[in-house]
Amino acid sequence: MKIFIDGKYYDKETARISVFDHGLLYGDGVFEGIRVYQGKVFRLEDHIARLYDSARAIALEIPMGPGEMQSAVLETVKINEKKDGYIRLVVTRGEGSLGLDPSSCPKPSVIIIVGDIQLYPAEFYKNGIRIITASTRRIPPECLDSRIKSLNYLNNILAKVEAHRAGALEAVMLNTNGLVAECTADNIFVVRAGRLLTPHPSHGALGGITMRTVLELARQKGIECAESTLTRYDLYTAAECFITGSGAEVMPVIEIDDRTIGDGKPGPVTLGLIDDFRKLTTS
C-alpha cells in the first residue's frame, strides 16, 4: 500500500503525521470516503466539491486546487492498483501548537489512503437489518452545520456505541427537536404512501453522495421523492425503510426499535434501487 501525504508516497509502515497535527489533537480537518468500482472512482467530482465546501466552511485553505486534488486521487488509485476499494481523503489543519488557535498551523496536510473495502455480508441485502434509535442526539446546526464533513465524529461514534451494545448494525440519530436526522454513518430513507422520503439537511442530515444518487435513480423510475420532516412515527409506520452510504450502498432495514417495518422483508422499491445502484456501479 502506498499512501499519499503532502505530495509524496509512503509505505503503510512508514506513513506518519506529526503528533502536533491539529487533525489528531482536535479533530480539526475534513474528509471524504469514496468508493472505487472496477477501477473507476465513483462520483469523484461530487466528493471533491463537497470536500472543498467543507473546508471553506471551517476556514481551512486546502494547499492544492480541486483539479490537482482529483489528479492526486486518481494517481493514488492507479499506484495502488485498486479495481474495487475505498478511498479515505483527509485534509487536516496541519502541525501547530498545543493550543486551539488554528493560526499556529502554517500549512494543512493532505492525506490519501486507498485500501480494501469491508463489504457487508450478502444476506444483509437479501434479508435486511435491524437498527435502533440512539439516545445521543445530533449536534444542532446552529452549533455545527451537519453539511460539514469534519474529522470530529465523536457525536456519531457515541451513537454507534449504543447500536453495538444493542446488537444492531446502525442507529438512527434524532436532532434536538426529536426529528429524524440520519444514522451514524448513513442517510436513511422511508417509503410512505408510494413516496420516497429522506430527512431534510436542515434537520441534521449530511448531503450524502450515495443519497443523491439514489434520489436520481428513484426519480428516473418515476418515484415521487422529497427531503422531508420525519419523526420516529414515520419510521415505525413506513412501508419500507433503507439506509445509504459509501460503505452500505443501499441497505434494507426491516426492524427499528423492535418494530417490524412493513411485512418484515425488503420491499419492492428498496430491492429495485439496490439493483439499479449495482447496475450503475458495474456498468
Judgement on whether residues 194 and 56 belong to the same structural domain of the protein: no
Cell numbers describing residue 281: 456501479
Say yes or no: 92 and 204 in one domain.
no
* Reduced 3-state DSSP string for 177-195: CCCEEEECCCEEEEEECCE
pLDDT, residue 178, reads: 97
Catalytic option among 149, 160, 221, 279: 149
Mean pLDDT of all residues in 243-254: 96
Q: How many domains does the chain have?
A: 2
Q: Where are the alpha helices (DSSP H) in 80-127?
A: 122-127
Whether 149 is catalytic: yes
In this predicted structure, what is the pLDDT of residue 125? 93
Taking alpha carbons only, the member of 250, 253, 264 closest to residue 131 is: 253
Pairing, β 225-228 against β 195-199: parallel
End residue of a domain, out of 63, 86, 115:
115
In CATH, what number is assigned to the domain containing residue 34? Answer: 3.30.470.10
Q: What is the pLDDT of residues 46-92, one digit of tens each?
A: 999 999 999 999 999 999 999 999 999 999 999 999 999 999 999 99
Q: What is the mean pLDDT of residues 245-263?
A: 96
Confidence of residue 283 (pLDDT cuts 50, 70, 90): confident
pLDDT in tens, 191-215: 999 999 999 999 999 889 999 999 9
CA distances, 266 to each of 17, 85, 262 (Å): 44, 26, 8
Q: Give the range of the structural domain holding residue 177, as residue numbers without chain letter.
A: 122-282
Same domain assignment for residues 111 and 178: no
Predicted pLDDT of residue 117: 84
Neighbouring C-beta atoms of residue 221, cutoff 10 Å: 12
Pairing of strands 109-115, 129-133: unpaired
Specify the pLDDT at position 120.
85
How far is residue 9's CA from residue 13's CA, in Å, rounded to a whole number? 12
- Give tens-digit pLDDT for 216-239: 999 999 999 999 999 999 999 999
Residues 84, 221 within the same domain:
no
Residue 119: pLDDT above 80? Answer: no
CATH code where residue 182 lies: 3.20.10.10
- 129 and 269 in a common domain: yes
Which of 92, 115, 138 is where one domain is finished? 115
Band the pLDDT of 27: cuts 50, 70, 90.
very high
Query: Which among 84, 115, 146 is the end of a domain?
Result: 115
